[in-house]
Chain A
Amino acid sequence: MKFKYPSRGTAPMDSNPACRRGAPATEDKRIRTPLEDAVVEDLRSGDRVLVSGVIYAARDSAHKRLVELLDRGEELPVDLKGQIIYYVGPAPARPGRVIGSAGPTTSGRMDPYTPRLIAATGLKGMIGKGYRSSEVKKALVDHKAVYFAAVGGAGALIARCIKRAEVIAYPDLGPEALHLLEVEDLPVTVINDCYGGDLYTEALARYSIKEVPELPLGKDPALS
């Protein structure tokens, strides 16, 4: 069977003026922290959202410490009720700047801690990139929370949305310390909503080309 180049012959959406460079693909929704249930209920997988307000930055090490505190029945250094955690380990700020580049890190590493944090603290949102576990997705449905992705690798762009950054706990962790960030119109996309919607799965269903193209099996270049 001959190879078909995937970008040809598919229904073009290029004609949609909203898709042109610089314009958002869909109408943005604006939200502000802390989040009420009603706000979370309004968000669906695939929505583009602009987040404003205070959010908290934490990675694996900070998560581990937070969950250890919960295990010991001690108080957390921050009240996470209705809040959003951003999975980020920022680059250091140049003098006079609020923060260095600050794009998302891979969320899957936080999966072991997330359901516990959601259930115990009333955490309502997470921002990161990449797949979540089925346990996390279930916790989102059970406790009405939402998982967003920011664009991985767009750290310089995202840093512009951060107006204030403070280390509030675990300074010994360096870039992994628990930070408070005040953000304005941070662009994110809903991946997992509180109804079980999952953009990553929906995207594959929509854009993958099922006919598996086959290689012309003649001479084997790897072995010649």
Chain B
Amino acid sequence: MTRIITCDEITRAVADLCREANYYLGKDVRGALEGALAREVSPQGKDVLNQLLENAAIAAAEEVPICQDTGVAVVFLELGQEVQVQGGYLYDAINAGVRQGYTEGYLRKSMVYPPLDGRNTGDNTPAIIHTEIVPGDKLTITVAPKGGGSENMSAAVMLAPAAGIRGVKEFVLETVKKAGPNPCPPLIVGVGIGGNFEKCALLAKKALLRPLGEPHPLEGIAALERDLLESINCLGIGPGGFGGRITALAVHVEIFARHIASLPVAVNIQCHAARHKSITL
């Protein structure tokens, strides 16, 4: 049985998600910031965490973006294979939603085309769209606006398999250390291990969508997440980079099979303005 979803529905949903993701910081992130405040020892670090919690409350009350960098609109689609999209082309519908959400929602437009010496496209399109075909007759849309400051501090490497877990750990720590105060700590660190060159980057990005406080289902990976978080929080960068124990709120690792010759690792740095919102049509 095919199920029909119209482009209009999709556009409307995407526009709403763009606004909501930017105005309302997720409950899990707010909870993690509260928890961080209780554990942070540095006065300056506490001051930053207080400002971030207050900021989230103001943004929600006034319906203004949490952060002025409302980012690239990254859109994840889980498209059921029994869904038929009617009334136009799916990706046009998504971009129309981004255009509408960013314009009517007073969100900043940050996309420039062509990339070298280009102009602002004026409506924050094009979105960056990742589509996965899944069983069923539903369409799940996730909008994850991603700011430039933290994206710029992200990195990927093709390790030799012999580097093993130690190599992975060193690369993650080195990436966070190098980023220092630039990506607005406290961070959420998304790590992709395995796959190939592009797959590990996508794994790292997808890792950021997992709710905070939810460990990886495999115990070995969950242990790696805990170890990485502890090591990162030994760095001393602290909230805002002003010094402290809470440099990261969480580390999320996602894995995939790899080629016998390579161990790809990607680290996608997410600032505390960790925004994503989903809907299932």
Residue positions of A touching B, CB distance < 8 A: 3-7, 10-14, 16, 18-19, 21-22, 24-26, 46, 48, 88-94, 97, 100-103, 105-106, 108, 129-131, 149, 151-157, 159-160, 174-175, 187, 189, 199-200, 202-209, 211-213, 215, 217, 219-224
Inter-chain contact B108/A157, CB cutoff 8 Å: no
A88 to B180, CA, bound (A): 20
* 9 more A-B residue pairs beyond the given contacts A10-B41, A21-B53, A25-B46, with a C-beta to C-beta distance below 8 A: A7-B246, A19-B43, A90-B68, A101-B64, A108-B182, A131-B181, A157-B54, A199-B243, A203-B244
Shortest CB distance B19–A (Å): 12
B184 interfacial contact with A, CB 8 Å = yes
- Report B210-221 CB contacts with A as 1/0, cut-off 8 Å: 000000001011
Inter-chain contact A156/B66, CB cutoff 8 Å: yes
B238 interfacial contact with A, CB 8 Å = yes
Shortest CB distance B109–A (Å): 7
Inter-chain contacts of B149 with A (CB < 8 A): 105-106, 129-130, 152
Inter-chain contacts of B245 with A (CB < 8 A): 6-7, 10, 207
Inter-chain contact A215/B41, CB cutoff 8 Å: no
Inter-chain contact B169/A215, CB cutoff 8 Å: yes
Inter-chain contact A156/B184, CB cutoff 8 Å: no
Inter-chain contact B242/A189, CB cutoff 8 Å: yes
B188 interfacial contact with A, CB 8 Å = no
- Which of B78-86, B88-96, B126-134, B223-231 contacts the other chain? B223-231
Shortest CB distance B188–A (Å): 12
Inter-chain contact A199/B166, CB cutoff 8 Å: no
28 A-B contacts, Cβ less than 8 Å apart?
A3-B227, A10-B41, A16-B43, A21-B46, A25-B47, A88-B68, A92-B107, A100-B65, A102-B68, A105-B148, A106-B152, A129-B149, A130-B181, A153-B184, A154-B51, A155-B64, A156-B62, A157-B55, A159-B64, A175-B108, A199-B243, A202-B243, A203-B42, A203-B238, A213-B231, A220-B165, A222-B263, A224-B220
A209 to B236, CA, bound (A): 7
Inter-chain contact A151/B181, CB cutoff 8 Å: no
Among the interface residues A4, A26, A152, A160, which one has the most CB atoms of the partner chain B within 10 A?
Answer: A152
B272 interfacial contact with A, CB 8 Å = yes
Inter-chain contact A155/B165, CB cutoff 8 Å: no
Inter-chain contact A21/B65, CB cutoff 8 Å: no
* A154-B52 contact, Cβ under 8 Å, with A91-B70, A159-B64, A222-B194: yes
Inter-chain contact A151/B51, CB cutoff 8 Å: yes
Shortest CB distance A93–B (Å): 7
B240 interfacial contact with A, CB 8 Å = yes
B37 interfacial contact with A, CB 8 Å = yes
* A219-B68 contact, Cβ under 8 Å, with A92-B108, A131-B180, A203-B238: no
A13 to B120, CA, bound (A): 46
Inter-chain contacts of A26 with B (CB < 8 A): 43-44
Inter-chain contact B65/A217, CB cutoff 8 Å: no
A220 to B152, CA, bound (A): 29
A25 to B40, CA, bound (A): 12
Inter-chain contacts of A129 with B (CB < 8 A): 149, 181-182, 184, 240-241
A87 to B60, CA, bound (A): 24
Inter-chain contact B166/A204, CB cutoff 8 Å: no
Inter-chain contacts of B106 with A (CB < 8 A): 91-94, 100
Q: What residue in chain A is nearest B50 (Cβ atoms)?
A: A21
A200 to B42, CA, bound (A): 13
A18 to B50, CA, bound (A): 12
* A200-B43 contact, Cβ under 8 Å, with A101-B66, A209-B236, A213-B230: no
